[in-house]
Amino acid sequence: MTEADPLRLLAVHAHPDDESSKGAATMAKYVAEGVEVLVATCTGGERGSVLNPALDRPEVWERLPQLRVEEMARAREILGVRQEFLGFVDSGLPEGDPLPPLPEGCFALVPTEEAAAPLVEIIRRFRPQVVLTYDERGGYPHPDHIKTHDISVVAFEAAGDPERYPELGEPWQPSKLYYHMGFTLTRMRALHEAMLEAGAESPYAEWLATWDPERDMSHRVTTRVPCADYFPVRDAALIAHATQIDPTGRWFACPMDVQQRVWPTEDYELARSLVDSTLPEDDLFAGIRSEVTIP
């Protein structure tokens, strides 16, 4: 790493729209500070549903893969990030009992070493100090999210090793790997209680009622990035994914000022680090800033 090296953040996501629902305000904040941010989107989201009732029409379903590319382009502009598709095919969310088999050729069925290759290439070309991905359970149990975690961990470890994937460019070792920790019980409860106090109906009651405390990750949060000023940018990017997001739905039910006051951060777990930083942190680049400069 040289003096002139700018800060770079790579966020790895499963589908178009995931970058806008997980860590979007963090990315917008770093972009505003001059950090280079690249989103790597593993799949094209081809097997997603139309989740916006206003757009649930045959002509929308017919064009869904192309629409999702166009929506991603709008969200990318709103967030001010660069974005690349890795080119894998959406596995879909299997439903039913027993679960149906995953469709042939989908992302989740590609062997992990092979699926990690395009991400290793991106890491070596973009040279991020920080990589963001999902936890080992995918944040939620979609096979593409779990696969996204798996390839991120493999690529983080392999990108700096000249003996692995030697054909994919000059080795580059990122310094920190983080997992998104946005959907913690602690945060949901805080927002829920603030809405009840305000005399409003809480959109989180159902989530909280069915929450399995065993699965809560609150205790794993190491890093809270203050980014409340960028929550409106996050919401605009989410709305750009028009087929995926119901603008009258739960995502937007909690008033902006309540969110900004009650939980003004996006939260992460520092999963791997090759630099020293003191926990808890409020900056994904803690321990790195002293070595590099922002252009």
What single-letter amino acid sits at 203?
P
| Close Cβ partners of 98 (under 8 Å, ≥ 6 residues apart) | none
Which lies closer to Zn ion via its Cβ, residue 26 or residue 129? 26
Distances (CA, A) of 207 to 164, 187, 234, 263: 43, 12, 22, 18
Q: Is 19 in the site for Zn ion (CB under 5 A)?
A: no
We find the least distance from the C-beta atom of residue 147 to Zn ion, in angstroms, to be 11
- The residue length of the chain stands at 295
Q: Is 89 in the site for Zn ion (CB under 5 A)?
A: no
Structure tokens at 115: 């699926």
Strands, E, within the chain: which ranges? 8-13, 36-43, 82-88, 130-133, 176-180, 223-226, 265-273
Stretch that binds Zn ion, among 8-16, 150-158, 178-186, 246-254 (CB under 5 A): 8-16
CA dist 285 and 291 (Å) reads 10
We find the least distance from the C-beta atom of residue 148 to Zn ion, in angstroms, to be 8
- Binding-site member from 8, 15, 124, 187 for Zn ion (CB under 5 A): 15
How many C-beta atoms lie closer than 10 Å to residue 155's C-beta? 30
* Residue 273, strand partner residues: 176
145 known member of a binding site: yes
Q: Which residue is nearest to Zn ion (CB)?
A: 15
Q: Is 47 in the site for Zn ion (CB under 5 A)?
A: no
> Which among 145, 205, 155 is positioned nearest to 180, based on CA atoms?
145
- Binding-site member from 7, 12, 16, 18 for Zn ion (CB under 5 A): 18
Place of tokens 């949060």: 221
Q: Is 241 in the site for Zn ion (CB under 5 A)?
A: no
18 known member of a binding site: yes
- Binding-site member from 12, 14, 191, 228 for Zn ion (CB under 5 A): 14
Which lies closer to Zn ion via its Cβ, residue 15 or residue 234? 15
Which lies closer to Zn ion via its Cβ, residue 15 or residue 192? 15
| Interface residues toward Zn ion, by CB under 5 A | 14-15, 18
Enumerate the known binding-site residues: 15, 18, 145
Enumerate the known binding-site residues for Zn(2+): 15, 18, 145
